[in-house]
Structure 1
């Protein structure tokens, strides 16, 4: 049996291959062992999204926990990951388990674990659970009956969406947002945020708000290449102020402006820093991932904010948010958290924060970005995901570590940073970064430059150097 490993965002696998009922039971049983060592009377919240067999896998996890006398509150229907995280914190439970593969394509499902604070479980705890999985025996689910656990109240259903909606309503001025006259298109990408958003944004136009476990054969990741439909819809209409898109389990976000142009997470992080520091007069650290734009540093320093860069994976941002006053914590992938909420990514929370900003000031996305560019200057970031074998990935990353790449096309390497993967820095805040994905069989190449053409040129040069020069 293939070893169950937790990557940057939990354990994921192809359904019926790595991700099976037996493996979910094994992972949950090990998690239960860890819980019982850490808590005297643990309780767990379980949720699942719109993926294939999500409910079945969630019920499998619930049965395993109940069989070990751990009380479970399981979602009545599909939910977002932040709904589980919020419930863990608000209900005071010990742990959250979310059955989701986030932005992966439809073949995958996964197993995310959330700590009692409502955020990603920390690396040391994940390693402990991984070790327990490696020595865990097979779990015979046939010995246990769902109806008995329900009768004993070891398993209870809970409306996590209602809890989340009430919390949103208490923390945002939804009347102001809905009366601001903003014309919004929302793309749920067939994910689990599709139902609650209709309660929140009553006048928006909605795309892909149906359940399709195949996600229209497009990975539910809010990248530019996956959002052509919403961009074209806004462009052709000419009648909308912005578009919002969240990923399959609702913890990542992207924007589209009124011209149908994609607004990436780099700019969303900058918008949040700008709003919270300048317009709300808030302070705190800015924590961002290694692959985020260098302009985060420039804008943060202009407001006197300390910035820290961390390896890819939100758990490192979460860890700092648990101990320090953090204003914004965000990643290039679109997972962003802000002060005054959970130490957790939440696409809907971030969307509403930006809508609140626009409603309060009457500014468009373009107006806001123009203010930011006065400080940062223009820039462009790009990314390419390359499916290659594990062996070739390892060879490329070893060459990076050995310093064998000194140029990529016409771009000469001036310095190398190896916080996570390898970032090769050129002149003028331009760079390329190579990193093996922690959740998928991919080599990721990231770049930043002063304009889109140069960023793409850097990507292409890096691709040719490492793939054809290997």
Structure 2
């Protein structure tokens, strides 16, 4: 009997199998069985994320329990104080999110660990805030972020409200992997054990909203702007509307997308990186002559932006909106003489160079991290402790940013408030946010940033992604589209290759990322997604003007597709 068949038969015949999964298992064909059982769903440095359903390679009550029991063992290893401090638990609008959250709380209770569970869906950044506000030992967030409706996921946080960095995640992974039978774990609690579970809500909400409102740099700005806002059926709906109302902004919600619908029925996609997320918001904007469009992903850590410019709506990339936010924040800090000493901005190795140039123009240092906001959170904690540098902003290219670090993850409600303030501020000066971006291009050079995500599902897809990276390492490109590669960085091998010499790349945890710097000032990076079955190609292309940058981008994209054998 194959490993797949052994695992399948074990699940079908196990007395502890949750009844909801039995009919689904019995209806599986050979291909479905293989995909559900060919491997154990990976609990990695970003937690777990995967398709919902029964099987060892799926997100379900049993794989969630295995992860939670591993986390519980990790907590208990830190002593009674950690168990008493407890764990904050949040969840989004997805199928089974609430069930997974309260089931996890029960399992923690059985292990003698307190938990604080939100009464209903809340944003990921508010979970991060709750960990800090309640003095918890850590946190659990049940979410698949911007993935399609078929997915769910599980993320872990430390006592600082930061997602577990690799060194800590490795300790939890060891505990999770030591559990051999996820089906043997039950969550039946006694009345006494259940007392360890506390349901939280409004008090934490109000504390969070107060902190968000406190980020304003110009609260007195004339709020003569119309904002169309969509939470894409997710957790941003109430927090963003409450914050706008209290700050005095006029917000027009996309009503069809405000219900917490796990099927995302009224949006083609809940991912702000994809055009479909803006379709209905764009119609609302045109009907209401809105100044800006703001779209949040389901767990409200990312914010997409559309701007009315010269009579048309322009959807900004995360690199563009991040650069504009950065320019507004730093310019206002300078103008008000509140720039701290030794200021530092954080972004990632796949974030555009434009932000770094903006920061430098304002006397702010940039430090780069790997993809994953936990690495930015780790840097914030480091400098908070040493006092060596002072945080002023952090962002990723994928629409995630953090204004003030009372949260240690991407925070869309903060970003929505600051973006609205920036739009109102510049409108008083006769500009929109695209005008501000164009000013930055005039000052620092014209950039076009893009991403090509190649979806490769299942076992064959996972192997294909590994092969793409292996082939690039084996036969490293010397030129791309006729432009010489002047420097190559390999974050897995920790090497820099430049001028024919190889030196050590330091300051980063090992990660499967390749980055190629080109002679024209552009760069291209390749990495597998940590949360989806995708191989991602990042392009940061410099041109003489927008047309030149765009044409070069298309040429580089085609060249990379041919180089990696992924051309359609």
Q: With structure 2 as the length reference, what TM-score do the two structures score?
A: 0.77
Pair 80,147 (structure 1): closer, same or farther in 2 beyond 3 Å: farther
Q: Residue in 2 aligned with 1:20?
A: 60
Shift of 1:175: 6.9
| Aligned with residue 157 of structure 1, among 183, 191, 199 | 199
Pair 39,265 (structure 1): closer, same or farther in 2 beyond 3 Å: farther
1:74 matches 2:117 = yes
Shift of 1:225: 2.2
Which structure 2 residue ranges, 5 or more long, are not aligned?
Answer: 1-36, 384-389, 492-510, 544-548
| Aligned with residue 63 of structure 1, among 106, 128, 138 | 106
Pair 125,229 (structure 1): closer, same or farther in 2 beyond 3 Å: same
8 Å contact from structure 2 (residues 307, 314) kept in 1: yes
How far, CA to CA, are the matches of 1:147 and 1:74 in structure 2? 17
8 Å contact from structure 2 (residues 106, 187) kept in 1: no
8 Å contact from structure 2 (residues 394, 402) kept in 1: yes
Shift of 1:239: 1.1
Shift of 1:360: 4.4
1:211 matches 2:260 = yes
8 Å contact from structure 2 (residues 45, 165) kept in 1: no
How far, CA to CA, are the matches of 2:463 and 2:405 in structure 1? 44
| Aligned with residue 290 of structure 1, among 343, 349, 366 | 349
Worse-matched range after superposition: 139-148 or 225-234: 139-148
Shift of 1:440: 1.3
1:399 matches 2:474 = no
Q: Residue in 1 aligned with 2:80?
A: 40
Shift of 1:252: 1.1
How far, CA to CA, are the matches of 2:117 and 2:451 in structure 1? 37
SS in structure 1 of the partner of residue 237 of structure 2: coil
8 Å contact from structure 1 (residues 44, 96) kept in 2: yes
1:427 matches 2:427 = no
Q: Residue in 2 aligned with 1:309?
A: 368
Worse-matched range after superposition: 139-148 or 28-37: 139-148
SS in structure 2 of the partner of residue 413 of structure 1: strand
How far, CA to CA, are the matches of 1:468 and 1:267 in structure 2? 27
1:278 matches 2:370 = no
Q: For residues 32-181 of structure 1, what are the structure 2 equivalents within 5 Å?
A: 32-41=72-81, 42=83, 43-138=86-181, 140=184, 142=186, 144-145=188-189, 149-150=193-194, 153-159=195-201, 160-172=204-216, 176=220, 180-181=223-224
Q: Residue in 1 aligned with 2:446?
A: 378
Shift of 1:63: 0.7
SS in structure 1 of the partner of residue 59 of structure 2: coil
How far, CA to CA, are the matches of 1:190 and 1:238 in structure 2? 21
Pair 392,322 (structure 1): closer, same or farther in 2 beyond 3 Å: same
8 Å contact from structure 2 (residues 483, 520) kept in 1: no
How far, CA to CA, are the matches of 1:394 and 1:287 in structure 2? 29
Worse-matched range after superposition: 110-119 or 301-310: 301-310
| Aligned with residue 253 of structure 1, among 303, 315, 324 | 303
1:11 matches 2:48 = yes
How far, CA to CA, are the matches of 1:426 and 1:143 in structure 2? 55
Shift of 1:222: 0.9
How far, CA to CA, are the matches of 1:390 and 1:54 in structure 2? 26
Q: What whole-Å deviation, never above 9, does each CA across 1:162-199 have from its counterpart, x for those lacking one?
A: 4433433455489747x612100112111111122222
Please provide the CA RMSD for this pair.
Answer: 2.5
Pair 146,213 (structure 1): closer, same or farther in 2 beyond 3 Å: farther
8 Å contact from structure 2 (residues 103, 187) kept in 1: no
Shift of 1:393: 1.4
How far, CA to CA, are the matches of 2:566 and 2:422 in structure 1? 47
Q: Residue in 2 aligned with 1:346?
A: 411
Q: Residue in 1 aligned with 2:237?
A: 194
How far, CA to CA, are the matches of 1:131 and 1:426 in structure 2? 40
SS in structure 2 of the partner of residue 321 of structure 1: helix
Q: Residue in 2 aligned with 1:357?
A: 422
How far, CA to CA, are the matches of 1:305 and 1:157 in structure 2? 42
8 Å contact from structure 1 (residues 446, 459) kept in 2: no
How far, CA to CA, are the matches of 2:435 and 2:190 in structure 1? 55
Shift of 1:247: 1.0
Pair 73,115 (structure 1): closer, same or farther in 2 beyond 3 Å: same
8 Å contact from structure 1 (residues 3, 134) kept in 2: no
Shift of 1:366: 2.6
How far, CA to CA, are the matches of 2:168 and 2:413 in structure 1? 28
SS in structure 1 of the partner of residue 331 of structure 2: helix
Worse-matched range after superposition: 183-192 or 220-229: 220-229
Pair 225,461 (structure 1): closer, same or farther in 2 beyond 3 Å: farther
Q: Residue in 2 aligned with 1:447?
A: 539
8 Å contact from structure 1 (residues 8, 315) kept in 2: no
SS in structure 2 of the partner of residue 190 of structure 1: coil
8 Å contact from structure 2 (residues 268, 277) kept in 1: no
Worse-matched range after superposition: 299-308 or 104-113: 299-308
Q: For residues 296-335 of structure 1, what are the structure 2 equivalents within 5 Å?
A: 296-324=355-383, 325-335=390-400
How far, CA to CA, are the matches of 1:469 and 1:204 in structure 2? 43
Pair 156,468 (structure 1): closer, same or farther in 2 beyond 3 Å: closer
Q: What whole-Å deviation, never above 9, does each CA across 1:227-280 have from its counterpart, x for those lacking one?
A: 341563266337111111111101111211013111111122212322232211
- Between the two proteins, the alignment pairs up a number of residues equal to 467
Pair 155,339 (structure 1): closer, same or farther in 2 beyond 3 Å: closer
8 Å contact from structure 1 (residues 269, 328) kept in 2: no
Pair 219,130 (structure 1): closer, same or farther in 2 beyond 3 Å: farther
How far, CA to CA, are the matches of 1:38 and 1:348 in structure 2? 33
